[in-house]
Chain A
Amino acid sequence: MNWDNRISSFKFHQSGAIKSWLDGHGYSGNGTYLDFCMFRVQGYPQIPSGNYLKIWRLHPRYGTQDADWLIPNLRKEKLGNLWSTNMNDAISAISVVFCKSKSCVYFF
């Protein structure tokens, strides 16, 4: 799937059915996190993959209902004040990673 210019914002849910699923499958509490990773096309800085990478990391608490974490505008993301990364643009891939005790499951 091509994500270029198709994603301008996203939200981590920390309540309701999604949170129940995280709690029920051990993806909340100490030793867990949830990464939302965005890769840009080849040639952007920050290697090792050859692609530029930016991550949003959530540490879900076990057994709680918490407020959502909204990332409202990826166009405002910057790499240095001199130029904008515009993370909405030139996205080659995204990845969602669920980790518990250093064991991770990938989506996309």
Chain B
Amino acid sequence: MIKLFLFYVLFSFSILAQGKLKFGIKAGVNYGTLVTSLVPPDGTPYYHQFNFIADGFIINYTYREWKLYSGYIFSVRGSNAILPVFGDKRYPQNFSFFEWPLLISRNLYSKKFRIGAGIINSYKDFSSIHLIGDRNYELDVKGFLEWDINKRFSMDFSYLYGGINNLFSKRETYLFSVMNLSISYYFLNIKVGKKTHND
């Protein structure tokens, strides 16, 4: 998978001759719940919860008003649920994923604000609850708003709907509805080719 990732990065950025390449790290918080539309109704109530791990490495490429994103993020999603083994107490049902995003954004009114969307290739690493249709890979969709605070920092708010590939297979598994607020720090900025409108 690492080879595939490197190939994707090299391929993506080699076809674009001019622009700005940035490498950084990202940290954020998730707030979401499980979606049970593919699970037979069993009377279990699910509640939104915060997860404070959504961190990783990011890379993006700016060309004129467009920006491409990728990276490698470790993210914990989940829900609070009432489980019979704990009586009426809510119990966190956490799922951790390694996410490989492929996103694109465009300037929104000014260079500092952007709107974007894309897909996330997610590899499930841990589940606190398993269903018969669980698979390790899932495809997610994401939309986001980004604010470039300065050259080093940016902040983004996003919404992710996880597991859309399972909607087609009708496999019995949990889907995910996750909002995220993140801050990114870019430690390496590289200008590639000629000057762009964003320089």
User: When the two chains form their complex, are residues B128 and A31 in contact, meaning their CB atoms are under 8 A apart?
Assistant: no
The A/B interface has a contact count, at CB < 8 Å, of: 70
Q: Please measure, in the bound complex, the distance between the C-alpha atom of A36 and the C-alpha atom of B92, giving whole angstroms.
A: 17
Known contacts A69-B132, A104-B84; is A59 also within 8 Å of B40 by CB?
yes
Classify chain A: how many residues form its interface, as a range. Answer: 20 to 34
- Interface residue? A43 (CB, 8 A): no
Chain B residue, CB-CB nearest to A54: B128
B85 touches A37 (CB 8 A): yes
Q: Give the number of chain B interface residues (Cβ < 8 Å).
A: 25
* Interface: B108 (CB within 8 A): no
* B138 is an interface residue with CB less than 8 A from chain A: no
B91-A33 in contact (CB<8A): no
Binary CB contact string for chain A from 76 to 108 against chain B (1 if under 8 A, 0 otherwise)? 001111000100000000010101011010100
Q: Among the listed stretches A1-9, A15-23, A45-53, which one makes contact with chain B, having 4 or more residues with CB under 8 Å of it? A: A45-53
Closest residue on chain A to residue B172 by CB atoms: A59
Contact B128 A48 (CB under 8 A): no
A78 CB contacts on chain B under 8 angstroms: 125-126
Q: Which of A57, A85, A95, A102 contacts B130 (CB 8 A)?
A: A57
Closest to A98 in B: B84
Q: Report the Cα distance A61→B40, complex, angstroms.
A: 9
Question: Which chain A residues border B40 with CB–CB below 8 Å?
Answer: 30, 33, 59, 61
Q: Which of A12, A80, A99 contacts B96 (CB 8 A)?
A: A80
B91 closest partner in A (C-beta)? A48
Given contacts A55-B83, A58-B132, 16 further A-B contacts (CB under 8 A): A12-B132, A30-B42, A31-B43, A35-B85, A53-B85, A55-B128, A56-B130, A57-B131, A59-B132, A71-B130, A79-B126, A81-B98, A99-B42, A99-B43, A106-B84, A106-B85
